[in-house]
Structure 1
Amino acid sequence: MKKWLLPMFMMVVLVLAACGNGNKEENSKKDEEAVKEASSSETITYQSETGPIEVPANPKRVVVLSSYTGDLLQLGVNVVGVDAWEANNPNFQDDIKNAVVVENTDIEKIIELDPDLIIGLNNIENADKLAEIAPTVLFTYGKADYLQQFIEIGKVVNKEKEAEKWVEDFKARAAEVGKKIKEKIGEDATVTVAESFDKQLYLFGDNWARGTEILYQEMGLKMPEKVKEVALEPGYFAISQEVLGEYTGDYIILSVPDDQDSSFMNTSWFKDIDAVKNGHLYKANASAFYFNDAKTLDYQLDFFEEKFLQ
């Protein structure tokens, strides 16, 4: 080969090689896109309360109409729509800042969000219309215990193993903190969980969120007998503010909404309650305490550790 042909020959080889690489890269990208497309279109079957439902294996745009936002966020699932109660939960706000606040009646608004999955409680209206928008899974509150409920959410979004691992870890952490609390306050100390709303107070049993599952179920702390009589079976019980002292134990966990009147805490009858006088009143932000999802449970556990063991 003549020397002057060599550079030209090399150039042709390089161009052909580049074209080959370019085609490989283009094909690789197409393959990746095909895999992503296939992945996003794959489905699994979830055995719901009403029967099998085909849901996306990897949901990308979930609308939550009640209760389960924190569970989905804990599992790393993207939430594009939430109800007003959960939108106001400070535990979630960083993760749902781009989510839209919706109600079950906002059919057009939900359609615009283009969800691939809808999750909520089974007492909502328009469930049939929602099911036409996207696979809709509804739960009965309290039918499963609070930790099994998280695992059920994990099953819906194809992350059951991740949910089970979190539950195992949470139970271990709660047991350890509970042991330390009992050592400090005594095995027989009693704890009352109450919430202020609309000039009434609500007492709670052992499975109505507000940290009750952690205190009574996981830690085994004691509920005052009088609270047990009225609130354990129904889950909660309403009383007038002035009779709170009749139901209080050695410690009080009191949730107070930011937008509710809390002036009763300055009254003489309230300050005369033994737990208050002894500095055993722990006031919580109700918006952060309403639920018993995974993220809220982590917050509540940290709250109890800080307040009881400070």
Structure 2
Amino acid sequence: MQEEEARQGFTPEMIDMMASIWTRSIITLIDVRFQNVASQYPLEQYKMPSSMFIYAYGGEAQIQLNETTFAMERFGLIHGGKGSLLSITPKGEIVETFMVFYRAESPLFFKKHLQQLLEQVNPFVQQFGYTPSNPILLRDWFQRMMNGWKRGKAMDQLQAKSFFYHLIHEVYRDLEGGEIRYLQPDPACSAKKYLDKHYREPIMFQQIADMFGISGGQLTRLFKKREGMNLQEYLIQRRIEAACHDLKHTEATVKEIATGAGFADEKNLFRMFKKHYKMTPSDYRKINALSMQVDGIDNDSQLNYDERELASLVKSYRDGESIMFGSLRSKEMILAAAISMMMLLTACTSGTPANNGGTVNTTPAQTQQTTQQEGAETGASEAVSQTRTITTVKGDVEVPNNPQRVVVDYLVGDVVALGVTPLGVARAARGEMEPVYANQITDSVKVAMEPEDIMTLEPDLIILAWSDESYDDLSKIAPTIYVPYGDMTTEERIHFISDVLNKQEEAKAVLNAYNGKIEESKLAFQNAGLSDVKITVGEFSDKSNYIAGAKHAVGELVYNELQLQAPPKVQTDIIDADKYWGDVSMEVLPAYSGDYMIFLGDGNVAADNAVWNSIPAVQHDRIVKVDSSLSWSTDVMTSSALIDYIVSQLLALAK
């Protein structure tokens, strides 16, 4: 997409206009340089003092102009305007570069005309990069240009300027020919630089992907291939590194550090610390305070700070163990070492040395402030550490006692019924359909269930039911519970989700009301003489018909919960065969049709369809139409509303 946009920016008309500007402008060569850029000493964030052409060759490299990173394979010609930030990072050992600095001015008698042209396009500040059609010729011109410039004589510098004009002509001839390959931005590298710069801010990964005209999933794949981790893992790592630095080197509170590092709140920081380093931020601060004091006593042993101190100071190693100071130690050993250090320091400072002529006093205000801060941090740590273990089909998952930031993909109605308003809901739950719980989720964020999107919400719990394909990625963001809703009854599912949300009492009330409605409905059917009628549930149209079985959301409700009967063919061919639904042609549809038909969705059958019109339920207008808002989900709120609707419609038709 970027290449197509670049081609559109260099149409024959635009190139002719830019050539006219070059012809009418006064060009002053400022300098011509040659530089070897080594991989261990890359050129970083060089602010260009003038407009520049950069010709690089000799191997692969990443060339960055401002926020855009270009991937160069063997040769690359880059142009940028004054003030642009230039970085060159070789992928191999070295990349050779020529740099031409120039300034363009307009003569007085051409000023008005040139100004009109420059308002349309300014070639002196344009940013572009491409692989030249004749790289060897360009290299020769750059070399001869530099040789003439360095000799310093007027005739030699005049020759250098002539080669510069040869260069401009060759560049525009390449652009006009359209056969060149534009240097494409490197999305993974640019995304990394963007995260390094903006990690303290709220991040929307799709917005980064939009810069390159690719999908969020494609950006994630490119980034993971390059960095060995996905976007949210890298973002978490950067934020934790920032928090670690602040914990070691500032007196800020944990809440202030969490906010400053980009976390939604201190609870999120606590959870990430416990997950990655098996300790709380306060514990990390205390341990590092002790190690710094010990370093002060023994100056022969120092820990070097390399801006990634956690990589060497503390690493998670199996469950419940840490690598600290380069050695493997258990939690008990860490605690014992910390206590020993504290006792040693206390012994060193508790006595009054003979030569000590004074004492250090702590004011009551300082003592109170310290106590309050430690108390607040301890309270927060205890609140976050209050978790429960839930056994799931994916294994045991540790969840917070009272989750506050819940994201749900499918069973939103179950969560809402239990008294929890989700922070985020899947787009399917808030798309064009108007769910029955719409008023309860007006403040919920509509989100795609992609890790990059969910990451921005900083959830403390994710409930996944629609598909488990993204379970592994989502579980790296927050505790994730997979609900195999198709294998659970409504009662089993509500009890399970209530255990996850710690809403057991609410679950009893919800199920009592739901089961009471089921019993009332069955009694109403019995009184209306509908207990023995045959019901067909499906989606119908002239082209295809899908007959629901008992595994279908509506089929389960009709056949299993309301205990209405299916026609014999539906029972044997679909329900007994344990099918979600069966694909039935219009010609054989009458054999699957019952006394009443529950018509799902927005399909339509032609008014003159002879087979459809021959079905008794159609002839006697015993059709119950159910729109998508009531038939797409099995959650308890939608099911409850669907029961009310089906019962009222069937009773009305029975009269």
Deviation at 1:157, TM superposition (A): 0.6
Distance (Å, rounded) in 2 between the aligned partners of 1:50 and 1:175: 35
In structure 1, what is the equivalent of residue 561 of structure 2? 218
Q: Which deviates the most, 248-257 or 193-202? A: 193-202
Match of 1:250 among 595, 599, 609: 595
Structure 1 residue aligned with 2:571, among 203, 215, 228?
Answer: 228
Q: 1:154 to 1:263 in 2, by over 3 A?
A: same
| Matching residue within 397, 418, 425 for 1:53 | 397
Letter in structure 1 aligned against 2:513: D
What letter corresponds to residue 190 of structure 1 in structure 2?
K
RMSD, aligned α-carbons: 2.7
Gaps of 5+ in 1: 1-30
Shift of 1:121: 2.7
Query: Which amino acid counterpart does residue 120 of structure 1 have in structure 2?
Result: L
Question: Matched residue of 2:438: which SS?
Answer: coil
Aligned-partner Cα distance in 2 for 1:199–1:108: 39
Q: Following superposition of structure 1 onto structure 2, how do residues 102-117 of structure 1 map, counting pairs within 5 Å?
A: 102-104=447-449, 106-117=450-461
* Residues 62, 117 of structure 1: 8 Å contact kept: yes
Write out per-residue CA displacement over residues 15-57 of structure 1, whole angstroms, 9 at most, x where no aligned residue: xxxxxxxxxxxxxxxx999989965663221111122211122
Aligned length: 274
Counterpart contact for 1:190–1:224, Cα < 8 Å: yes
Matched, 1:298 2:640: yes
Give the unaligned 5+ runs of structure 2.
1-374
Following the alignment from structure 2 to structure 1, what is the Cα–Cα distance between the partners of residues 590 and 478? 49
1:84-112 alpha-carbon deviations (Å, 9 max, x no partner):
322234213222233333333x2221111
2:595 aligned partner, one-letter code: D
Rg (Cα) greater in structure: 2
Using the TM superposition, give the Cα deviation of residue 240 of structure 1 relative to its aligned residue in structure 2, in angstroms.
3.0
SS at match of 1:231: helix
Q: Which amino acid aligns with 1:80?
A: L
Q: Does 1:206 align with 2:550?
A: yes
Match of 2:46 in 1: none
Alignment TM-score, normalising by the size of structure 1? 0.79
Query: How is 1:167-182 mapped onto 2 (pairs within 5 angstroms)?
Result: 167-182=511-526
SS in 2 for 1:187: coil
Give TM-score, length-normalised by structure 2.
0.39
2:119 aligned partner: none
- Residue 443 (structure 2) pairs with residue 98 (structure 1): yes
2:278: which partner in 1? Answer: none
Report if aligned partners of 1:205, 1:231 keep a CA contact under 8 Å in 2: yes
Q: Match of 1:274?
A: 616
- The residue that corresponds to 1:71 in the other structure is 414
Q: Do 2:541 and 2:604's aligned partners in 1 also have CA atoms closer than 8 Å?
A: no
- Could you say which structure has the greater relative contact order, defined with CA pairs below 8 angstroms and 6 or more residues apart? 1
Q: Which residue of 2 aligns with 1:160?
A: 504
Kept in 2, the 8 Å contact 1:62–1:81? The answer is: yes
What is residue 15 of structure 1 aligned with on the other side?
A: none
**Structure-2 change in CA distance of 1:213 and 1:78 (3 Å):** same
SS at match of 2:506: helix
Q: Is the Cα–Cα contact under 8 Å of residues 542 and 586 in structure 2 kept in the other structure?
A: no
SS of equivalent to 2:487 = coil
Report sequence identity in percent: 30
Structure 1: distance between partners of 2:495 and 2:408: 16
Q: Is the 8 A contact 1:86 1:92 kept in 2?
A: no
What secondary structure, in the 3-state scheme, does the structure 1 residue paired with 2:440 have?
coil
More displaced stretch, 113-122 vs 219-228: 113-122
